[in-house]
Amino acid sequence: MVKNEFPKDFLWGGAIACSQADGGYREGGKGISTQDCRFFDPNWDEKTIYERAYFSEMSTAGLKKAIEDEGNINYPLRRGIDFYHKYPQDISLLKELGLKVFRTSISWSRIFPNGDDILPNDEGIKYYRDLFGKLKENDIKIFATIVHYDIPVNLVLKYGGWKNRKTIDFYLKYVKVLFENFGDIVDYWLPFNEINAARFGTWDGACLIKGEEENYDQSIYQCVHHQFIASAKVIELSKKMLKKPMIGAMIARFCSYPATCKPEDVLQSIHDEQYSNYFYLDVMARGEYPKYMDRFFEKMGVNIQFAEGDKELLKNNTADFVSFSYYSSQVSTIDQSWSKTCGNLVAEANLNPYLKTNEIGWTIDGIGLRIVLNQLYDRYQLPLFIAENGLGTFEKLEEGNTIHDDYRISYFEEHFKAMKEAITDGIDLIGYTAWGIIDIVSCGPLTMDKRYGVIYVDYDNCGNGTGNRYKKDSFYWYKKVIETNGENL
Ligand code: BG6
């Protein structure tokens, strides 16, 4: 009989990224990262904040100013939630929550402050040894992202970042240090967060300054190609250096249903899926560039430069598991007048009239998660890991120092039920890390007041506050789910 339950060893977890959580800017020998350079003006109104979240890219002048602005506090990703100093108490809370796995990223600029340094920074290595040691002491598995958007800014200034193949060598040198030091303690690795992000947020994903690119599309895809090669080389290295390598491929999953059963809309949906999602996973999980991309590339005037051996490298080094972020879904149509909303990384998404949206405008679609789990498993037949999912919204600390976040509980419930159903559909889903398990600085708007956590952090958009952590109602609810392995869902 088919069992409707989570596997016994299912990895219930939570996720953050170093640039959004750590702070400790320039402490312990850390160099400046590309994410340290993103400016936020506390006088911007909400409309400006959200417009900038989607459209603002780095400018040459903005980057220059950021590097000179050492002491300026209006760079929220320099302060995060001070996880760098507060991680012992945060891990105690995560232990109390019962987490089985914790996803965070490693800051490249803490290990190699400039990216091209001859020797790694011992203090940076020690920090991660302590942090990872603390997680293991508490029986929490580690899911480490090697690059979550941030790279040492020096690599951009001196070499052009991902546009330059040399960056692959610097990256590999960094990964070798990680494998040497943490190869036996980290359980799951992701070479890149959301490798398709470059197409949507160029500074985050590719560390490119749009205004400086002669052929913008060409530069984006050449950067992505170098990231594919870097990922394959991580896999190649993992086979030599790790006892039980588990290296994943991750995308931001943009699920896009046909808006109608009109053949043109169905075809549009196929094209949207290929262009935004499958291209990236096809390269990393199947090991080759899919033929369908030739038409897209031709239309954009893109001609990717392959070096000798690239094709074989990709073919021989495919991912061990497939991972993705999933927040909402959208629809595909050729109807230009279709109603719009927004979503993760996209300012304009076609709205699904059958779904509700959250306060920011992102649709809420639990069944969509079951759909993408089925689609990805059908296509790749590899274990799946949901690396990000959650509800970001505005919250104010309530009486009794808590948040009654029944809306988050119902979002989780809907998505957890969908996961359980997908497992019953036969999908090999190994884990789930709720995004921003503890409130962190939001990546798009750069604010604190868009919160995802089951733990509230008392900082405002300007970094004012005690920094104290408080449990929300969803903390107790999620704890129960983990304790019972989702039995009552
Ligand atoms: C993902 C990123 O795309 O979306 C995270 O990997 C980010 O870094 C998350 O935080 C949610 O986006 P935002 O803008 O609400 O923080």
Q: Kindly list the catalytic residues.
A: 194, 388
Ligand 1 atom at minimal distance to the Cα of residue 345: 3
Atom 9 in ligand 1: residue holding the nearest Cα: 443
Q: Where are the domains of the chain?
A: 11-483
CA 297–ligand 1 middle distance (angstroms): 27
pLDDT in tens, 174-204: 999 999 999 999 999 999 999 999 999 999 9
What is the residue-wise DSSP string for 465-487? S---EEE-HHHHHHHHHHHTTTT
State residue 71's pLDDT score.
Answer: 82
What is the residue-wise DSSP string for 11-33? EEEEE--HHHH---TTGGG---B
State residue 164's pLDDT score.
Answer: 98
Atom 4 in ligand 1: residue holding the nearest Cα: 344
Pick the closest to residue 249 from 384, 136, 362, 378 (CA basis).
Answer: 384
State residue 387's pLDDT score.
Answer: 98
Cβ < 6 A, ligand 1 pocket = 17, 20, 193-194, 252, 325, 344-345, 388, 392, 435, 442-444, 450
Q: Parallel, antiparallel, or unpaired for β 340-343 and 346-350?
A: antiparallel
Q: Which segments in the chain show pLDDT lower than 50?
A: none
Tokens of 271: 């094209």
Exposed, middle or buried by CB within 10 Å (0-12, 13-18, 19+), for 131?
Answer: buried
State residue 22's pLDDT score.
Answer: 98
State residue 211's pLDDT score.
Answer: 86
State residue 471's pLDDT score.
Answer: 98
Biggest distance spanned by C-alpha atoms of the chain: 65
The answer regarding whether domain 11-483 maps to CATH 3.20.20.80 reads: yes
State residue 94's pLDDT score.
Answer: 98
Q: What 3-state class would DSSP assign to 197?
A: helix
Burial 372-385 (b: 16+ CB within 10 A, else e): bbeebbeebebbbb
State residue 72's pLDDT score.
Answer: 84
Q: From CA 244, how far away is CA 485, in angstroms rounded?
A: 26
CA 70 vs CA 18, 57, 75, 235, 247: distances in Å: 19, 20, 10, 37, 36
CA 444–ligand 1 middle distance (angstroms): 7
State residue 51's pLDDT score.
Answer: 86
Residue reference for tokens 């909400």: 46
Q: From CA 161, how far away is CA 156, in angstroms rounded?
A: 4
pLDDT in tens, 291-331: 999 999 999 999 999 999 999 999 999 999 999 999 999 99
State residue 475's pLDDT score.
Answer: 98
